[in-house]
Structure 1
Amino acid sequence: MSKQFGSRRCAGALAAGVVAALYAGNASAVDGISLSGTGVKAAGMAGTSIAFPQDSSVAADNPAGMGLIGSRTDFGIQILEPLTDFEYGSPSNTLHTGKVYPVPDGGANWQISPRLTLGVSLFGTGIGTSYGRPALPIPGAGVAQSSLQTVIAAPTVTYRLTEHNIIGVSLSLAYQRFSANGVIVPTEDGTLQPLPSHGISDAFGYGMRVGYIWQPTSAFTFGASYASRIRMSKLSGYQDDLLAAGGGRIDIGAQYGVGIAYQPVPSLTLAADWFHVEFSNTVIGSAQGFGWQNQDFFRLGASWDLAQRWTLRAGFSRGNHPIGPSVVAQNLLSAMPVSSSVAVGATYRIGDKDEVSGVFEYGFPVTVKGEGASLGFNEQTKTEVFGVSYGHKF
């Protein structure tokens, strides 16, 4: 690898690339910036949930869905394992990361009256990158790694306007913890130097969510939802170097989508979603950050009540990839997402009020080969997700 290649390109990748990895607290690297499904039940259908709510974490996808689930509480955890190999310059220069990240979710909901519900959905995302060694042999460079964890609480109210129409509104209250180490940047004279690590920094943010459900018949449901941009406070220490392009903030972009669900027979539900994720106006989509493109996902899912105690699920999700060939170098330290996945899941009911659910999801391998300014940088990722949850009706 030439000196010029090794310095300027790799340094640019590390400087902007860690930003990508840091944003990964909202980028769990399955479908775009998050796990395919918030809640183990939705995950079993590859995230298909806008018109088919199944538990009290659903306000993450459609606040109005809380109006259909009754009084219940849920807690679950999904274990994400992203496997990433990043090659830069030559096949002999390869970094590998394969850490395991727990992502919790859950919530509670109360049916106050036939028209009104009050509840809260809790969902968290957490991921990072750890290559186990410095990305470049620069004196003073630390181990290349980063971590971002985000927890969002969504207190939610729904109101049934008519027999067939429900609206829902949520606040989005977010808390972030972030750290980065091993970042290397070029200086004015063309040499390389490591940035200091500022340790763990935290931030708070807020936004809102709105949703709508229409059920003209018992067999058909239409849903629509919108989540505003969550504006985060500055991450102390990082606003002057690593996150300067974003004003020291890692905002979470807006998301919106529509979905339908149909029951051809009482025991079978078929559902489909279109879901849009925005990275524009945040550091994750900026040229000085790492240039991710907005994404659109199409999801299909099925839920089959096999017997009184068992429900089986399956789903498929596909979207465009956010990382283009020209910005691969900028994502050297990011946890590159996959864009297509399949999932299977099941629920076992213990009596009338308790249930246990599980999911397995596989994210198909994706490879992006650099072009232009990223020529010589190649990244490959695949993911696996295991999850389990407990639900209780009251």
Structure 2
Amino acid sequence: MKKTIFSTLIIITLPFLNQSSFATTGYFMHGYGVKAQGNAGTAIAQFNDSLTIANNPAGLSWVGTRLDTGLTLFSPDRSAEIQGNLAGANGNYDGNAREYFLLPEFGFNKKINDTVDLGIAIYGNGGMNTGYDHNPFTAFGNTGKAGVNITQVFISPAVAWRFSENQSIGIATNILYQEFEAKGLSAFGAFSSTPNHISNQGKDSSTGIGIKLGWAGQISDRLSLGATYSSKIKADKFGQYKGLFADSGNFDVPENYGIGANFQFTPKLNLAADISRINFSDIDSVGNSFDINSLFSGNGFGSKQGPGFGWKDINIYRLGLGYQASSKLSLRAGYSHNDQPINKDQTFLNILAPAVIQDHISIGGTWNIDPSQEINFAYTYGIKKTVHGQQSIPVAFGGGEANIEMSQHLFGLAYGRKF
């Protein structure tokens, strides 16, 4: 049964895997669904459409029977600079071997009766892509183009139960399929527990299953509240890269959770706010630091205590504003800020994963074609951020500093149908 489920999952998610590369809030999306993107991801207590499964599955009780599908054009700009390196690695490096990506989304909800809704959503939870035609690690013995690509896609069937007039709970099963590939890092095999499985092994895949829980409450005619929790997903290991990721290729999905509120100031104007947290540090391959002393004392790449990207847990703060401009047109805007996951002394390895953006601004809207159909649009700018290294390159690698930088543009377009 598990094999059948994951075989079906692979077929359904192929369009996502072939196009996806997104890294906004760490390596999570800043917003799930084009409507939520227009509010900078504010959606825990603001229930827009069937993609609410990805934000708060309890929201299904409040969206009705509907179908939603969309595409987001994603354009990240990632780069790195190495300064003061005695091994000869100094230079500016462009990580944009590929510049544009299409990110699909799909959701459907069916109202079974006055208390029960059943839905399903397919969406990307996170990813990272870098491609350096000029390898930043050539001075350390590596050859060819360098970069990584990791994509995580979910199929999430969900059920919501409206247990009182003003409250609901929801649960979604997060069925994970992820792929990973690394290039241009083979020379680092000298510091790996499994040297032949650190780089250039083609695409590898793994699967896992977790849950997402949610609660929603209409506290008054004006105020709604929400809360959501997603469990850590223990995924199968990337066997082809067991010499790169800590704990023999482990790359789980971190636990995350949040709370939100939505206040209707007037019939036309509302303000929503979310606070959420992602516990990156619980994932060894992400949270372990790149520590040269530990590396030379036996904790090589691929070992349980081996090097990771040194990411910290982060909090995300979001504000979203909605305005009903006319019977046909509603407008949205939003701003989000998250903690910096990457310390200044961890920038060297994060040349491969420069997810340093902390601030997003978004605008969006909905055009009602008729009472049953709508077109949604959104634009988000991930504001350019640079993290300057501080004691980031070990003396054993020539010393100096690695500076990493990223900015992003996202254009989303979606269609919604109410039944």
TM over 0.5: yes
Which runs of 5 or more residues in structure 2 are unaligned?
1-18, 290-306, 394-399
Does the CA-based 8 Å contact 1:26-1:33 persist in structure 2? no
State the structure with bigger RCO (CA 8 A, min sep 6), 1 or 2.
Answer: 1
The change in CA–CA distance for 1:328 and 1:335 in structure 2 (over 3 A counts) is closer
Residue aligning to 2:315: 296
Counting only pairs closer than 5 Å after superposition, residues 238-317 of structure 1 correspond to structure 2 as 238-239=241-242, 241-243=243-245, 245-282=246-283, 283-287=285-289, 288-317=307-336
What displacement does 1:292 show?
A: 0.4
Which one has the bigger strand percentage?
Answer: 1
User: Please, which of 31, 45, 56 is the counterpart of residue 51 of structure 1?
Assistant: 45
What displacement does 1:134 show?
A: 2.7
Residue aligning to 1:115: 115
Does the CA-based 8 Å contact 1:43-1:359 persist in structure 2? yes
Residue aligning to 1:94: 92
Look up the SS of the partner of 1:332 in the other structure.
helix
Query: Counterparts of 1:193 and 1:50 in 2: how far apart (Å)?
Result: 44
What displacement does 1:337 show?
A: 3.4
1:307-355 deviations in whole A, cap 9, x for unaligned?
1111100000011110010101121211423111100001111111111
89-98 vs 301-310, which moves further: 89-98
Counting only pairs closer than 5 Å after superposition, residues 18-57 of structure 1 correspond to structure 2 as 28-57=22-51
What displacement does 1:186 show?
A: 6.3
Look up the SS of the partner of 2:188 in the other structure.
strand
Look up the SS of the partner of 1:80 in the other structure.
strand
Does the CA-based 8 Å contact 2:128-2:353 persist in structure 1? no
Does the CA-based 8 Å contact 1:126-1:148 persist in structure 2? yes
Residue aligning to 1:348: 367
Counting only pairs closer than 5 Å after superposition, residues 137-156 of structure 1 correspond to structure 2 as 137=138, 141-156=143-158
What displacement does 1:251 show?
A: 0.8
The change in CA–CA distance for 1:246 and 1:266 in structure 2 (over 3 A counts) is farther
Does the CA-based 8 Å contact 1:140-1:194 persist in structure 2? no
Query: Counterparts of 1:193 and 1:119 in 2: how far apart (Å)?
Result: 44
The change in CA–CA distance for 1:257 and 1:140 in structure 2 (over 3 A counts) is closer
Residue aligning to 1:174: 176
333-342 vs 292-301, which moves further: 333-342
1:111-132 deviations in whole A, cap 9, x for unaligned?
1011100001211244411112
Counting only pairs closer than 5 Å after superposition, residues 122-271 of structure 1 correspond to structure 2 as 122-124=122-124, 125-137=126-138, 141-183=143-185, 184-185=187-188, 187=190, 195-239=198-242, 241-243=243-245, 245-271=246-272
What displacement does 1:264 show?
A: 1.1
What displacement does 1:133 show?
A: 2.9
Residue aligning to 1:72: 66
What displacement does 1:209 show?
A: 0.5
What displacement does 1:61 show?
A: 1.1
Does the CA-based 8 Å contact 2:382-2:407 persist in structure 1? yes
Look up the SS of the partner of 1:265 in the other structure.
coil
Query: Counterparts of 2:403 and 2:64 in 1: how far apart (Å)?
Result: 48
User: Please, which of 366, 378, 383 is the counterpart of residue 408 of structure 2?
Assistant: 383
Does the CA-based 8 Å contact 1:101-1:127 persist in structure 2? no
What displacement does 1:84 show?
A: 1.5
The change in CA–CA distance for 1:273 and 1:26 in structure 2 (over 3 A counts) is farther
Query: Counterparts of 2:276 and 2:214 in 1: how far apart (Å)?
Result: 13
Which residue type is aligned with residue 105 of structure 2? Answer: D
Residue aligning to 1:327: 346
**Deviation beyond 4 Å, 4+ runs, structure 1:** 192-196
Look up the SS of the partner of 1:221 in the other structure.
strand
Which residue type is aligned with residue 148 of structure 2? Answer: S
Which one has the bigger helix percentage?
Answer: 2
Which residue type is aligned with residue 322 of structure 1? Answer: P
Q: Is 1:62 aligned to 2:81, yes or no?
A: no
1:82-105 deviations in whole A, cap 9, x for unaligned?
212201135951111232222222
What displacement does 1:262 show?
A: 0.7
Which runs of 5 or more residues in structure 1 are unaligned?
1-24
Query: Counterparts of 2:248 and 2:90 in 1: how far apart (Å)?
Result: 37
TM-score normalized by the length of structure 1: 0.88
What displacement does 1:109 show?
A: 0.3
User: Please, which of 341, 344, 357 is the counterpart of residue 376 of structure 2?
Assistant: 357
Query: Counterparts of 1:247 and 1:28 in 2: how far apart (Å)?
Result: 25
1:248-307 deviations in whole A, cap 9, x for unaligned?
121110110000001111122210000111112212112211110100011000111111
Does the CA-based 8 Å contact 2:158-2:172 persist in structure 1? yes
Query: Counterparts of 1:196 and 1:328 in 2: how far apart (Å)?
Result: 20
Query: Counterparts of 1:296 and 1:195 in 2: how far apart (Å)?
Result: 31
Does the CA-based 8 Å contact 1:31-1:341 persist in structure 2? no
Which residue type is aligned with residue 80 of structure 1? Answer: F
Does the CA-based 8 Å contact 2:169-2:216 persist in structure 1? yes
Query: Counterparts of 1:195 and 1:274 in 2: how far apart (Å)?
Result: 37
Does the CA-based 8 Å contact 2:32-2:54 persist in structure 1? yes
TM-score normalized by the length of structure 2: 0.83
1:136-155 deviations in whole A, cap 9, x for unaligned?
33667221022122210111
What displacement does 1:26 show?
A: 10
Identity of aligned residues (%): 30
